């Protein structure tokens, strides 16, 4: 059945269109804000997608990562299938480091943190989103670190939509799931405010898989002539139980995935997370010049406990940052061409403090208190040039300097201290740069083509800096920055509600920052050179006045160009060649198909099918493990009924009850041992939305 469905999608994609398209049914401008100032996506020399509020309402996706995985070139790594907890997305084949190579923005503000905990997706409920902007392969000039694969900008609902409204959202679903949000807004011609309260609780698909989430937001906007002042405040809290993986080792007849996929070997493990954010942005127009300046503060605390079969570890990690991001867009004419020059600066100060011991009772006197600080100063300029009425060129560059410092305080009298040591202090700096050159050419009323080339970079995070040496003593290791050189070309076609696009890309990565699981004590390291290249095809078709169809296909080839992993006698081998080997956790093929049918004027049925080919497991850089993550196809449905008071929906996720997982990791020490993270089977849900 799975292979038949995958084939059906492929035939649909080929017979409908052989290209990709922005998610819009209009021929007018598609404005995106991920470019620092509003721009028409159809003038950008990049592959762009805009997911509208209508697209979100039609989708059966329960979380942001599920919604994003419906888009071409994006895959999801989901550990537990419970409200996107510990979930990451991967754009264009970076594998497990996809979260560190795709920049996630909330209303233009950076959400990627200075640690490896990932974006807290559950803090952004779908009901609060106005649209989502996806820019593939671009963003390093405007944003700097972590934009190697591209940028995803999540735009929430504006407080300045005039009038008053109150909305309530509620969902009941399988596995004891209850979700709710209360949203209210009030706005006049000059002042607007909106806010929301969100709650989620679920027992989860597996044992020890409970998840509790609570968020609050408050947004205010004052109109100031030709500008505005925005204040955005939010907090989020999560309590999450951690069921761990299901272990498989054929040599000893062990297969927990087959015998007890919903069980757990870690019944005592858990994590707690508290976060808060506040941001103030002033925008103003002086003649033709647009100005903007943002002040942001964010902090979070994560408490985590891992029993580790009687050798427990407990951590109290705090991460905070302050940012100041002034910028301006200056239009001018030169040599008969119109220019839109964007200039700006980004100043970030990150602080990471990790208190480590064995149990919660001893956190008052931890064994180690590690502190890592990073201060970055980035300066950029990007010019968009109307060369002719149908030709737009983009040229940009960025310079960035990062300063690191690290201290590790060890307490020899701590209860959990047994031959404990501290890392030597760290003081270092790194200089980086990015550039981009792009061109978009109109080819008549319906066709256009684009091409771009650029250089991006990624800096090491705090947990990639604070590691252990070969004797398992803590140390600070500042890895070389990662670089990516990307070239891309594509073509687009638009005709009313129908559209299509095709894109080809290649990224050559050097000094990739990643975990080397086979070399004792090294931990995170700079891997040998690799390459990601592929094809992205997407099409949207208004088949009839009541039927809309879309299909997409992505081919991604991710390989190491050369190199050897040293390994060790304690791991599965030494001098492990990875030349020409496939990067783990990157499916070669990905297919999406969706349809939306207006059964009646207020009744709509929509469905989405996502199919992925097999993938190598995490830690299998040498490609020596026989078992892979199997291919799978997941079918979701949503039946929606509109009414004057709101709407009611019935959702069916994983309708075919596919047994699958998107993440698995091989052992570094036992050749045929690995762990998989099973995801939920068929899930039913009822959604009620009220509007006043």
pLDDT for 8: 32
pLDDT for 29: 64
Q: Does pLDDT of 24 surpass 80?
A: no
Q: At 521, is the pLDDT very low, low, confident or very high (cuts 50, 70, 90)? A: low
Tokens of 11: 């035939």
Q: Does pLDDT of 458 surpass 70?
A: yes
Share of the chain above pLDDT 70, in %: 95
pLDDT for 9: 31
Concatenated DSSP letters of 421-484: --PPPEEEEEEEEEEEEEEEEEETTTEEEEEEEEEEEEPPPHHHHEEE-TTS-EEE--PPPEEE
Nearest to 511 by CA among 455, 458, 586, 462: 458
CA–CA separation, 319 and 350 (whole Å): 7
Q: Does pLDDT of 28 surpass 60?
A: no
Average predicted confidence (pLDDT) for the chain: 92
CA–CA separation, 404 and 425 (whole Å): 10
Integer angstrom CA distances of residue 304 from 49, 311, 315, 384, 565: 37, 14, 5, 47, 31
Q: Does pLDDT of 26 surpass 50?
A: no
Domains of the chain: 2-691 (2.40.170.20)
Tokens of 254: 């062990």
Q: Over the stretch 63-110, which tens digit does the pLDDT of each residue have? A: 999 999 999 999 999 999 999 988 999 999 999 999 999 999 999 999
Helix (H) or strand (E) holding 24: none
CB burial class (10 A; 0-12, 13-18, 19+) of residue 279?
buried
* Residue 126 backbone phi and psi in degrees, to 5: -60, -30
Under 8 Å between Cβ of 35 and 573: no
pLDDT for 148: 95
Integer angstrom CA distances of residue 629 from 79, 433, 615, 655: 13, 37, 5, 20
pLDDT for 66: 95
Q: Over the stretch 531-553, which tens digit does the pLDDT of each residue have? A: 999 999 999 999 999 999 999 99
Give the residue ranges of DSSP H helices in 481-599.
Answer: none
Q: How far is CA 310 from the centre of its chain?
A: 34
DSSP code for 141 = H
Across the beta sheet with 673-676, the strand order is 254-255, 246-249, 673-676, 664-666
Q: Which 3 state secondary structure label does DSSP give 640? A: strand
Nearest to 605 by CA among 591, 590, 593, 594: 594
Q: Does pLDDT of 194 surpass 50?
A: yes
Q: Over the stretch 365-416, which tens digit does the pLDDT of each residue have? A: 999 999 999 999 999 999 999 999 999 999 999 999 999 999 999 999 999 9
Q: Does pLDDT of 23 surpass 50?
A: no
Tokens of 678: 């099973």
166: number of Cβ within 10 Å: 12
Instruction: Provide the strand spans (E) within 114-210.
Output: 129-136, 150-156, 163-173, 177-187, 191-202
The least confident of 1-10, 240-249, 510-519 is 1-10
The least confident of 39-53, 142-156, 414-428, 659-673 is 39-53
CA–CA separation, 484 and 97 (whole Å): 14
Q: Does pLDDT of 465 surpass 50?
A: yes
Q: Over the stretch 253-274, which tens digit does the pLDDT of each residue have? A: 999 999 999 999 999 999 999 9
Under 8 Å between Cβ of 204 and 81: yes
Q: Scanning the structure block, which residue is given the tokens 């010049």?
A: 289
Q: Which 3 state secondary structure label does DSSP give 67? A: helix
150: number of Cβ within 10 Å: 25
The least confident of 189-203, 252-266, 315-329, 514-528 is 514-528
pLDDT for 334: 94
pLDDT for 41: 76
pLDDT for 1: 35
Q: Which residues of 478-514 are buried (b: 16+ CB within 10 A; e: fewer)?
A: bbebbbbebbbbbbbbbeeebbbbbbbbbbebbbbbb
CA atoms within 13 A of residue 332's CA, in its CB half-sphere: 8
CA–CA separation, 72 and 596 (whole Å): 18
Tokens of 56: 């979100």
CB burial class (10 A; 0-12, 13-18, 19+) of residue 383?
middle
Integer angstrom CA distances of residue 43 from 31, 359, 468, 501: 10, 56, 48, 14
Q: Does pLDDT of 5 surpass 80?
A: no
Under 8 Å between Cβ of 224 and 111: no
Q: At 191, is the pLDDT very low, low, confident or very high (cuts 50, 70, 90)? A: very high
pLDDT for 571: 86
Which pTM was predicted? Answer: 0.93
Concatenated DSSP letters of 164-182: EEEEEEEEEETTTEEEEEE
């Amino acid at each position: 059945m799975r292979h038949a469905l995958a084939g059906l999608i492929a035939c649909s994609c080929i017979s409908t269109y052989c290209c990709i398209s922005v998610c819009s049914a209009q021929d007018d401008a598609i404005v995106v804000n991920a470019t620092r100032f509003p721009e028409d996506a159809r003038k950008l020399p990049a592959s762009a997608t805009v997911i509208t509020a209508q697209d979100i309402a039609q989708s059966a996706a329960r979380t942001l990562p599920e919604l994003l995985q419906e888009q071409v070139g994006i895959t999801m790594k989901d550990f537990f299938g419970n409200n996107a907890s510990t979930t990451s997305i991967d754009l264009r084949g970076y594998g497990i480091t996809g979260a560190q190579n795709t920049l996630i923005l909330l209303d233009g503000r950076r959400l990627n943190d200075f640690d490896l905990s990932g974006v807290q997706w559950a803090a952004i409920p779908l009901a609060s989103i106005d649209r989502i902007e996806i820019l593939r392969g671009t963003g390093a000039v405007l944003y700097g670190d972590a934009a190697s694969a591209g940028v995803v900008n999540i735009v929430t609902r504006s407080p300045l939509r005039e009038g008053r409204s109150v909305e309530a959202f509620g969902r009941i679903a399988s596995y004891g799931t209850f979700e709710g949000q209360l949203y209210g807004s009030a706005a006049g011609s000059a002042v607007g405010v909106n806010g929301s309260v969100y709650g989620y609780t679920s027992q989860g698909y597996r044992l020890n898989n409970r998840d509790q989430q609570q968020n609050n937001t408050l947004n205010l906007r004052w109109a100031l002539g030709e500008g505005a002042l925005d204040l955005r405040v939010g907090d989020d809290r999560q309590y999450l139980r951690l069921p761990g993986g299901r272990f498989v080792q054929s040599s000893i007849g062990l297969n927990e995935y087959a015998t007890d996929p919903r069980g757990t070997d870690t019944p005592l493990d858990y994590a707690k997370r508290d976060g808060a954010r506040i941001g103030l942005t002033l925008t103003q127009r002086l003649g033709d010049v647009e100005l903007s300046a943002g002040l942001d503060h964010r902090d979070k605390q994560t408490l985590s406990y891992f029993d580790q079969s009687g050798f427990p570890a407990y951590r109290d990690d705090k991460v905070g940052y302050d940012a100041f991001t002034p910028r301006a867009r200056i239009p001018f004419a030169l040599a008969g061409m119109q220019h839109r020059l964007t200039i700006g600066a980004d100043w970030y100060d990150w602080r990471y403090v990790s208190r480590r011991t064995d149990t919660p009772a001893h956190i008052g006197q931890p064994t180690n208190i590690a502190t890592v600080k990073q201060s970055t100063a980035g300066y950029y300029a990007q010019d968009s040039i109307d060369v002719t009425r149908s030709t737009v060129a983009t040229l940009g560059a960025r310079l960035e300097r990062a300063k690191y410092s690290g201290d590790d305080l060890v307490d020899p009298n701590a209860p959990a201290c047994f031959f404990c040591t501290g890392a030597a202090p760290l003081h270092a700096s790194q200089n980086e740069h990015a550039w981009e050159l792009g061109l978009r050419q109109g080819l008549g009323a319906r066709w256009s083509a684009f091409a771009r080339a650029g250089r991006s970079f990624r800096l090491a995070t705090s947990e990639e800096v604070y590691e252990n040496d070969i004797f398992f003593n803590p140390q600070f290791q500042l890895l070389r920055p990662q670089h990516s050189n990307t070239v891309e070309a594509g073509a687009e076609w638009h005709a009313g509600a129908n559209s299509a696009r095709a894109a080809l890309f290649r990224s050559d990565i050097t000094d990739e920052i990643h975990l080397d699981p086979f070399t004792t004590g090294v931990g995170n390291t700079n891997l040998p050179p690799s390459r990601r290249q592929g094809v992205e095809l997407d099409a949207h078709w208004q088949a009839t006045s009541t039927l809309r169809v879309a299909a997409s296909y992505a081919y991604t080839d991710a390989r190491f160009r050369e190199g050897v992993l040293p390994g060790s006698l304690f791991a599965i081998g030494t001098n492990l060649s990875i030349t020409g080997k496939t990067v783990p956790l990157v499916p070669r093929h990905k297919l999406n198909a969706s349809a939306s049918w207006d059964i009646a004027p207020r009744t709509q049925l929509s469905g989405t099918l996502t199919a992925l080919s097999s993938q190598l497991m995490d830690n299998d850089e040498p490609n020596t493990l026989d078992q892979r993550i199997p291919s799978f196809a997941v079918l979701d449905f949503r039946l929606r009924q509109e009414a004057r008071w709101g709407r009611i929906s019935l959702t069916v996720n994983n309708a075919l009850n596919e047994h699958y997982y998107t993440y698995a990791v091989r052992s570094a020490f036992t050749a045929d041992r690995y762990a998989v993270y099973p995801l939920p089977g068929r899930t039913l849900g009822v959604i009620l939305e009220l509007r006043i």
